[in-house]
Structure 1
Amino acid sequence: MKYQKFFIPSSEAGAKLEVVAAKPQHDGPYPTIIFNHGSTGRGQNKALYSRTICPAVVGNYFVERGWMALFPQRRGRGKSGGVYGEGLASDGSGYSCDIEITMAGFERAVEDMDAVVRYVRERSDVNQDQLVIGGVSRGGILAIAYAGMRPNTFRGAVNFNGGWLGRGCLSHETVNPLIFERGAPSGISTLWLHGSYDQYYRIGHCRGNFERFLSSGGRGRFVAAPTGHALMFKPTLWKNDLNQYMDEITMSQESD
């Protein structure tokens, strides 16, 4: 597997986004997943902002299936330019529980995803008919919501332990279902992989988010695994479910 790093334009002048690509050894065009990183915990440790996130467990899984995995770093994260502005409180205490500040941070993440998709649309080594979005934690809820906000873009959306605000904020009960609901218009089948003992999002809350998504017209399958927020790093707990889901995506594309 080969990793490549490059920078693409964002919506903000002078602020480029870092993207890491994990590619199969054979020539493309490749079916491709855009996989989104999460938050930095409580948002208080600025040293975490500059870490480039490209989990090998995800890259290996998709490359072994012949897919390319792209790991974009949103503004202010990794080596991307710009300020990290995804809902941080002005007093430096970490992520704000204020709904208005939180939603503005989410919209900023959507802007970065728009920039990534514009770039992906121009890549000749991407099979544009087999494009999937995924992510973990904040990246998981972003994947589901963005697929619905930009319908007819993705074949599938994969959510590992998704949520925008953790249970440390009472407003998470409002914010998370509101954002997930935005994914309903995608029209595609989605896969929700959650840890039953997640320390940030109670499993009952996650199921409630899924039910809200379904009641708004969304489609998908919810899987509860016997672990916590580190589910993504335990592929034995999700590999069979993801294999089944990816096979369904491939078959639906072939039948079109």
Structure 2
Amino acid sequence: MFNLRNLSTALRWGFSLVIIVFALQGCITVREPVFPKAWEKKGTLFKEDLVNVKIGGKQLRLHMVSARKASETPLPIVILTHGSASWAQTDIALGQAAFDAFKYLELLEYIANQGFGAVFFSHRGHGFSEGETSKFSCGWDKNYVEKAMSVGLDFEAIHGVLSKVQWADSKNVIIGGHSTGGVGALYYAGLKPNGVIGVLNIAGTYGCTGGTYGGRNIWKTRTGWKEHVTNGNSVRQLWLYGDNDSYTAISDLKDYVGMKNIELVILNGADHHILDGKLSDLPERWKPTVSKFLNSIKGELQ
């Protein structure tokens, strides 16, 4: 039976196909935004830019947004990134390239208000960042770790950029991210355990739901992932997960619960999208936990 909902869906898909066809035929010109951009909001200084990095021997540019309060001394840094399901470069023609950066602006402002310099970047092949996304197959455990490694190397590149920024205290850096960004942060912490002072893992995972390989994820691999995480837990870590996460069951984390320096906080009723999920009260539930974590680390620096 064809109802209004079906009609709406059909029109939406039809409109998207028209845009894609016109873009492919050159009828739509996609203009690259002009960077850098800078603005101020309630005393918080924002800057958006494409920064030059070298990853795997290749020169490219990553999209980065920073937020900070004015300070006479360098600020400790929190570096964040998004998950792999976020808009990739193929969506630029549809005007969705900077979706993640805009979604994270409120979080960046919140962290800046805690006395940190807050930085968000889009990892390779996403948003305005150049490069290619790493290949992925649900059938190979090795791919899960390779994806975490790819994002981890992007963290390393951004960390290197910040080492040359005057307002950034690049020796005191907390790294974190959502979903793939979370396991990417864990990878970098394991790669350079003395290079960071904390990890904020927000529903970190990489894997598949549904189909033949449904339920497979990085936490179930036997390809050295646990050893890598263990190598990085010399620094304090906050892990935030929802008990309705369709990508990672809390039971998947059983081998990591109780590890030194890892604090697991479970948000009842929350799904994988903790930052912008369907539960309107979620931000007010995770913000106090994140504030306590950040300020406790900051207090140790003074």
What is the TM-score with the length of structure 2 in the denominator? 0.71
1:80 aligns with 129
Contact 2:124–2:131 (8 Å) recurs in 1: yes
SS of the residue aligned with 2:244? Answer: coil
Say if 2:68 is the partner of 1:23: yes
Aligned mate of 2:149, from 89, 101, 107: 107
In the TM superposition, what are the counterparts of 1:66-77 in structure 2 within 5 Å? 66-77=115-126
Q: 1:45/1:98 Cα in 2 relative to 1: closer, same or farther (>3 Å)?
A: farther
1:242 aligns with 290
Aligned mate of 1:125, from 167, 187, 190: 167
In the TM superposition, what are the counterparts of 1:47-62 in structure 2 within 5 Å? 47=91, 50-54=97-101, 55-62=104-111
In the TM superposition, residue 197 of structure 1 has moved relative to its aligned partner by: 0.9
Aligned mate of 2:231, from 148, 162, 185: 185
In the TM superposition, residue 36 of structure 1 has moved relative to its aligned partner by: 1.5
Q: Which structure has more RCO (C-alpha within 8 Å, separation ≥ 6)?
A: 1
Aligned mate of 2:206, from 144, 161, 164: 164
Q: Distance in 2 between matches of 1:237 and 1:36?
A: 21
Aligned mate of 1:230, from 273, 283, 290: 273
Q: Distance in 2 between matches of 1:81 and 1:225?
A: 35
2:243 aligns with 196
Q: How many pairs were matched up?
A: 241
The letter for the 2-side match of 1:127 is D
SS of the residue aligned with 2:132? Answer: coil
The letter for the 2-side match of 1:158 is L
Q: Distance in 2 between matches of 1:46 and 1:198?
A: 27
Q: 1:59/1:44 Cα in 2 relative to 1: closer, same or farther (>3 Å)?
A: closer
**Structure 2: where are the runs of 5+ without partners?**
1-43, 277-281
What is the TM-score with the length of structure 1 in the denominator? 0.82
Q: Deviations over 1:187-246 (max 9, x none)?
A: 1111011111112212222x32533x82xxx42111000211222232211122112211
- Percent sequence identity is 21
* Alignment root-mean-square deviation, CA: 2.7
The letter for the 2-side match of 1:9 is V
SS of the residue aligned with 1:238? Answer: helix
1:93 aligns with none
In the TM superposition, residue 106 of structure 1 has moved relative to its aligned partner by: 2.8
Q: Deviations over 1:100-138 (max 9, x none)?
A: 333333332222222112212222211234311011111
In the TM superposition, residue 77 of structure 1 has moved relative to its aligned partner by: 0.9
